[in-house]
Each structure stands twice: as structure tokens, then as C-alpha cells.
Amino acid sequence: MRSGAAAASDQAASHTVTPSCVSISIPATNLVAGDNVLAAEVHQFDSADSDTDVYLGIQMDLVYQVTSALPPKLISTRNGSTNIVSWKSPPAGVWGLEYTTNLLKTNTVWTALPNASPYTNTMSGRKLFRVHIK
């Protein structure tokens, strides 16, 4: 094929007698949230050729690397009028607790709490908690 955008009338640059396999890598940065579409366009080498068989196979392998540890599950229990927030943190001391009073779509302000698990919440008002890597 010629370089640049392909037109429906373009012919393939060569005739393929033996099928071949080509591997390409697509960086994850080229993908978007939601549906991604992979399209293939096939062109005939000789418009007078009566062999119109086309074979196409696609295999996708996902290779990824976990770049941070998964956060532990928060457990909230109530003792009278006090809430106790706890989590298991392997290894000890890796995870800390933060809270906010206003969860926004962007730029939520989180405040670190000095206590380790379990944390006893004696503050009044609505509090939203999350764990973070220290």
C-alpha cells in the first residue's frame, strides 16, 4: 500500500501467496475509557484476480503491570455514638487513613489522620474516609 490515507480503490502493494502473521503493540496510552475499536481494511492486489478469499485472525493479549499495592478494605463499626474505622495493613505502617467532609468530582481535599488502625472517630458531622499509602 502507498503511504498516507488509503482509498477504497487502492490496490495492495504485493500478492500474498503464504499467509503471514504480524504482531504489533498498542500502548495503553492510546486507549480511551469505554469502547475501543480495532479495524482492519483488506485490499486486493489484482482487480482481475478471481481469488477473492480473505483470511483474517486477531488475537489480543493484555500485558499490564501493577504499579501500586491494592488498598486494604475499610471496616466501619459502631460502638454507641462512636464509629471505629479499621483496616489490615500488610506490611505494618504502609497504609494511613484520610478523611474529607466534601467529596467532589475533582480536587477533593483529604486530611491525613495520625492514628493507625483502628481509628476511633469522635468528630461530629459527616466524614468520608479512605486509606492511602504513607
For residue 7, what pLDDT is reported? 78
As a whole number, mean pLDDT of residues 44-54 equals 71
The model's pTM is 0.45
Burial of 85 (0-12, 13-18, 19+ CB in 10 A): buried
For residue 2, what pLDDT is reported? 62
pLDDT digits 0-9 by tens, 64-118: 666 666 778 888 888 787 888 888 765 556 778 888 988 888 888 999 887 778 8
For residue 89, what pLDDT is reported? 62
